[in-house]
């Protein structure tokens, strides 16, 4: 954290999480091009907006991945050892993990997420519905090393990383995450991972520019958070949502575009925007099966199975840690 942000954080008696947000916002808005991390979309309101996105007719990933996990559950059950601990990196809605828990014979479930409150609520619901399952939530940032609970140390490990969350990482970060997951899960571990596929640009475009405008509200929510939590004065009507497909880099980019020349303030600093200037808020990388398999191989894993829906929209991969 720079001196300025540290002093302000202290003056406002911010908790650690808010001061990390403050630091990242000041740093990201100072860069050219300006950027904000997509991890800041997900406060309570943002998580609700994301849940709404998953139900939109244009947003195919969630329902397509659920279909693959449902249809291929028996094959997944054949691959994973009985009594293994399922370690989920990031914990959103429990719909996907329930499909695996219903169809496979897991001995324990370890959801790992930065938001402890959310995790504990999720764990309570699962314990109710799967009374024989050991549920051991871990509050941690899953992109950094963390220790697995002692109770699962002796069990075989299966990582679970659904939703194409991997797509939010730059390719070098995706490699780093896969290597770190390999270290955390240990020798002999397996991994089930959902990855969105490259496809017709129109379909990709529509998935991030829905007619109902939910994705636009989701994108703008990061400015709402800056106003609410950091005392910013962003005029929400003066920024507009833009999502484009960057074909060379195989990624959807979400931006917030300044509708006019304007200056806004946050934490005692001012930021001047030109008309049309962008804040890059998210990249969502799309892979081909071949490019993902190559990435996994180069990151300490051996792909053992790849499944897609009949439309070739989304992929789920089974990996085993290489020696
Ligand atoms: C949760 C990162 C997979 O990239 O599709 C949805 C987030 N952003 N609509 C995605 C998102 C805009 C989503 N991921």
For the chain, 323 residues long, give each residue's pLDDT as a single digit of tens.
555 665 555 555 567 777 889 999 999 999 999 999 999 999 889 999 999 999 999 999 999 999 999 999 999 999 999 999 999 999 878 999 999 999 999 999 999 998 777 788 889 999 999 999 999 999 998 988 999 999 999 999 999 999 999 999 999 999 999 999 999 999 999 999 999 999 999 999 999 999 999 999 999 999 999 999 999 999 999 999 999 999 999 999 999 999 999 999 999 999 999 999 999 999 999 999 999 999 999 999 999 999 999 999 999 999 999 97
- What is the atom index within ligand 1 of the atom nearest the CA of 219? 12
| Spatial separation of the C-alpha atoms in residues 123 and 250, rounded to whole Å | 36
99 Cα–ligand 1 center, Å: 21
Q: Choose one of 50, 96, 196, 254 to mutate for the ligand 1 pocket test, by most ligand atoms within 8 angstroms of C-beta.
A: 50
| Spatial separation of the C-alpha atoms in residues 3 and 87, rounded to whole Å | 38
300 Cα–ligand 1 center, Å: 26
Burial code of 265-304, b = ≥16 C-beta within 10 A, e = fewer?
A: ebbeeebebeeebbbbbbbbbbbebebbbebbeebbbebe
284 Cα–ligand 1 center, Å: 7
| Spatial separation of the C-alpha atoms in residues 232 and 36, rounded to whole Å | 14
Nearest by Cα to 192 from 122, 104, 283: 104
For residue 33, cis peptide bond before it (omega within 30 degrees of 0): yes
As given in the structure block, the two tokens for residue 25 are: 């916002």
């Amino acid at each position: 954290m720079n001196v300025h942000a540290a002093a302000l954080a202290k003056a406002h008696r911010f908790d650690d999480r808010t001061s990390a947000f403050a630091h990242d916002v000041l740093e990201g808005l100072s860069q050219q091009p300006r950027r904000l991390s997509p991890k800041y979309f997900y406060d309570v309101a943002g998580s609700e907006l994301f849940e709404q996105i998953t139900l939109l007719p244009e947003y195919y990933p969630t329902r397509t991945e659920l279909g693959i996990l449902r249809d291929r559950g028996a094959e997944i059950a054949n691959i994973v050892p009985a009594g293994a601990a399922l370690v989920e990196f990031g914990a959103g809605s429990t719909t996907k993990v329930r499909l695996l828990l219903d169809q496979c014979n897991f001995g324990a479930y370890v959801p790992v997420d930065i938001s402890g409150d959310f995790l504990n609520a999720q764990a309570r619901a699962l314990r109710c519905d799967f009374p024989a399952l050991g549920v051991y939530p871990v509050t941690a940032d899953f992109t950094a090393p963390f220790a697995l609970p002692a109770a699962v140390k002796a069990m075989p490990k299966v990582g679970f990383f659904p939703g194409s969350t991997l797509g939010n990482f730059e390719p070098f970060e995706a490699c780093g995450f896969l290597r770190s997951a390999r270290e955390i899960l240990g020798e002999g571990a397996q991994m089930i991972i959902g990855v969105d596929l490259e496809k017709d640009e129109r379909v990709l475009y529509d998935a991030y520019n829905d007619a109902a405008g939910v994705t636009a509200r989701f994108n703008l929510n990061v400015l709402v958070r800056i106003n609410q939590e950091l005392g910013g004065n962003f005029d929400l009507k003066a920024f507009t949502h833009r999502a484009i497909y960057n074909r060379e880099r195989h990624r959807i980019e979400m931006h917030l575009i300044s509708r006019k020349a304007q200056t806004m303030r946050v934490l005692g600093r001012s930021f001047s925007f030109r008309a049309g200037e962008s804040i890059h808020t998210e990249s969502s990388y799309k892979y081909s099966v071949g490019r993902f398999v190559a990435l996994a191989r180069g990151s300490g894993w051996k792909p053992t199975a790849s499944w897609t829906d009949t439309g070739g929209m989304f992929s789920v991969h089974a990996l085993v840690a290489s020696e």
